[in-house]
C-alpha cells in the first residue's frame, strides 16, 4: 500500500466479495497513511507484516501520523497468513524449509537466496517447489512475478510499484488473475 489510499479505495471496488489480504508496507512512503488506515478499518482488512511496518514499530517517534491504535495493529500483524493452498507473505518464504521454516528476516526482507548478493537467484527460483502458492510483494523492481509447477502457480509477486507511479495489484486466487489500478501519480522516486 505504501500510503496509497486513493488507489486502494479504487482497487477495493474491484474486489467486492473477495477475501482481501494486504501484503504489508501499509503506511510509509506514500501520501495518505491515515486514509489507508480508514480503509483497513472500514473494510476490516487483514495484513501481514512488511519491512516498513517493522521500521515503524521500531521508531514510532519518526511517524507523526502514527496513532496508538495503528501501532497496536502493526504490532499484532503475523509474518504470514495461510488460506487453503495459498500463503500470503510480504517478501518470501524460505525456499528449502517452506513457510513453517521461515524466520522474520526472510518473511519481511528476502529477495535473493541464500543472501542478497547480486547474481544469487531470487528466492522463488532457488528451489521453491510449493505445494503452497506464495503470494508476496516487496520487490517493485521485479514487478509482477509468476512461477508455476505442473501448470499451477507456486509464486505470485504483486509489487508493481504504485507509490512509484506504477500500479496497485491484487491476485484473485479463485480466478487465477491479477487485477490492477493505475497510480494517480508518482509519489516517490523508485529506490
What is the tens place of the pLDDT at every residue in 61-86?
999 999 999 999 999 999 999 989 99
The domains located in the chain, with CATH, are 5-182 (3.60.21.10)
Q: Residue 86 in 3-state DSSP?
A: strand
| Residue 60 burial class via C-beta count within 10 angstroms: exposed 0-12, middle 13-18, buried 19 and up | middle
Does the pLDDT value for residue 176 go beyond 90?
yes
pLDDT on residue 189: 87
pLDDT at 191 over 80: no
- Three-state DSSP class for 56? helix
What is the predicted pLDDT for the residue at 147?
97
Over residues 83-105, mean pLDDT:
94
Tell the residue number behind the cell numbers 479504487, with chain if given: 10
Show the cell assigned to 57. 514499530
Taking residues 50-63, report their average pLDDT: 97
What count of other Cβ atoms lies within 10 Å of the Cβ of residue 48? 26
**Tens digits of residue pLDDT in 1-35:** 999 999 999 999 999 999 999 999 999 999 999 99
C-alpha cell read off for 191? 529506490
d(CA 45, CA 175): 20
At 157, list the grid cell.
Answer: 509477486
Over residues 140-148, mean pLDDT:
95
The reported pTM is: 0.96
Amino acid at each position: 500500500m505504501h500510503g496509497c489510499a486513493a488507489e486502494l479505495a479504487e482497487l477495493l471496488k474491484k474486489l467486492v466479495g473477495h477475501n482481501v489480504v494486504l501484503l504489508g508496507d501499509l503506511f510509509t512512503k506514500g501520501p495518505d497513511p491515515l486514509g489507508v488506515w480508514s480503509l483497513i478499518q472500514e473494510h476490516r482488512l487483514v495484513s501481514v507484516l512488511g519491512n516498513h511496518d517493522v521500521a515503524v514499530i521500531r521508531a514510532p517517534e519518526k511517524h507523526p501520523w502514527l496513532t496508538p491504535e495503528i501501532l497496536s495493529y502493526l504490532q499484532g500483524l503475523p509474518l504470514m497468513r495461510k488460506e487453503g493452498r495459498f500463503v500470503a507473505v510480504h517478501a518470501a518464504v524460505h525456499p528449502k524449509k517452506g513457510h513453517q521454516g521461515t524466520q522474520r528476516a526472510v518473511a519481511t526482507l528476502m529477495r535473493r537466496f541464500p543472501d542478497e548478493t547480486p547474481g544469487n537467484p531470487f528466492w522463488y527460483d532457488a528451489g521453491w517447489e510449493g505445494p503452497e502458492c506464495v503470494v508476496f510483494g516487496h520487490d517493485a523492481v521485479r514487478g509482477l512475478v509468476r512461477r508455476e509447477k505442473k501448470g499451477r502457480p507456486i509464486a505470485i509477486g504483486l509489487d508493481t510499484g504504485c507509490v512509484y507511479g506504477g500500479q496497485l495489484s491484487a491476485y484473485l486466487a479463485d480466478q487465477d488473475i491479477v487485477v490492477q489500478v493505475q497510480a494517480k501519480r508518482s509519489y516517490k522516486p523508485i529506490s
